[in-house]
Amino acid sequence: MIPLSSYLIVSAVLFAIGTAGVFLRRNLITILLSVEIMLNAVNLTFVAFGRYRGDVDGQIITFFVMTVAAAEAAVGLALIIALFRHRESLNPDAFTSLKW
């Protein structure tokens, strides 16, 4: 049998990878993909804990997290398309005109 901590460690590693992607990559699409990795890591934690507690609530929460992730990906990609039309670049450093 697999202990709960194994699942939590996998989830933590995935979350860390996602965070690293958000911080280090200079491409808007890859940043959004890293956010999706983080959301999936959280889903795994929820399902693992739900199974540990023996009820179905963990899966219900993942249902909502997936829906929210889908909505967020749709709006985020629409924003990226709009931004790309302006500056012809996907580098977040190209959109710093509001910085003082």
Partner 1 sequence: MPEVVTFYLLAGIAVVASALVIGQRNPMYSVMFLIVAFAALAGLYIQLDAPFVAVAQIIIYAGAIMVLFLFVVMLLNAPQEDGAEWDRTHPLRRAGIGRFGAMLAGVLILELAYALMKVNGLGAAVGSQANATTVSSVREMGKVLFSRHAFAFEATSVLILVAMVGAVVLARREGES
Interface with partner 1 (CB under 8 A): 1-10, 12-14, 16-18, 20-21, 24-27, 29-30, 32-34, 36-37, 40, 43-44, 47-48, 50-52, 54-60, 62-64, 66-75, 77-82, 84-85, 89-91
User: Is residue 91 within 8 Å of 47, Cβ to Cβ?
Assistant: no
Compute the least distance from the CB of residue 82 to partner 1, in Å: 5
Shortest Cβ 100–partner 1 spacing (Å): 24
Nearer to partner 1, 56 or 100 (CB): 56
CB atoms closer than 10 angstroms to residue 26: 11
Whichever of 80 and 95 has its CB closer to partner 1, that residue is 80
Distance between CA atoms of residues 6 and 96, nearest Å: 41
What is the spatial distance between Cα 36 and Cα 42, in angstroms, rounded to a whole number?
10
Contact 56, 50 (CB under 8 A): yes
